[in-house]
Structure 1
Amino acid sequence: MQKQKTNPERSTSRRAFFMGASAVGAALVPALLPKGRAQEIKGVNESGIMGPDVVRCASRLACLCGSCKNTVGDCAMLECGYCAPMRKRIAAMQADGHSDDDIVAAIVKENGKQALASPPTQGFSLFAWTAPWIAIAIGLAAIFAFIRRFSAKPQPAGEADTELLDRYQDRIEKDTAKLD
């Protein structure tokens, strides 16, 4: 089998053609979309694509379908029984002029604190957030103190008291003399 030789001018012209066609296609796509499409993007359209406002609010809420541990904003399950209606509800509430905090508060009031993607940072929940880090800090401090205490070099002995040593030596000599 012989390897075919490619013409470098031909491959360059193909590349230029496809790049030009891509640029023209990208420029024409927005013009070909229906006019009402820009309105749909703000909320949730028929295909389930969410606008940035809905994603911002939905990311604060947990998906309660029981099958995943995602937020309402990033649940990837097609036709999720919880997220799909919740996204539409969030979009409708935003269209009515409710703030993100109002929407989250209404959903938490309805479903409880389990509807939150992360526990609130107040009261006992704040302690629950900080307790593991406090325990780790105390444990590391205890390990550091233990290692420092038992790895310290012993202090050198001071000068011996010669008077005391002489007294002990005399006592030893008297005791050994009694043994004879």
Structure 2
Amino acid sequence: MNSIRRISFLILLTLALVTAIGVSDLSFFANSEAKSSLAEEAWGQAGSIAYQAAARTMRSKNGEGRPLDNVQKRYLRRYFIDYIDRVTVIYDAQMMDRWILGNVAVHFGKVETIAQTYCDRIYLRDPYQSEDPKQLAVLAHEMVHVRQCAQNGGLDQFGYQYFVEYKRAKQKYENNLMEREAYDLQNRFAKTNQ
């Protein structure tokens, strides 16, 4: 629980900084481009820290997982040839949006997450279903994030870039360029593999 508090504190601290920058009347911040750049930098720095902390928390709260099986690799190979052997998938994962504490479920947000990816570790809320088309489509989406993470240079840089894109998308998950890329491939994958 301390990790979640730390992550929440870092995000709140960053948002306070972003708000202060956004409402500042100082002439230094008069240029909206400079304000935007500073806000994006603040979001990026917070994202770098929060993403790494979340990855550690997810690893500590969940089991070891397993590599993609041969069926999953067959479906995903043409899109992710360089990444399918790097990935570990953790099924029945306890996500960051909800923790089970004893007999009580504690929710951290309105949206229930079905999957989260931290570079080469994909966490799925659902149990293992090798040939399930919906689970394969979700894996395709998450594999885009695996590729993005590798292309950005790892956890810290992926977290930085993801949060910068989130800020640029006016804090709308569905407008984040990194999510749009993942959903585009997920939709193509689902149509191709019906």
Where relative contact order (Cα < 8 A, 6+ residues apart) is larger, the structure is 2
TM-score, structure 2 as length reference: 0.25
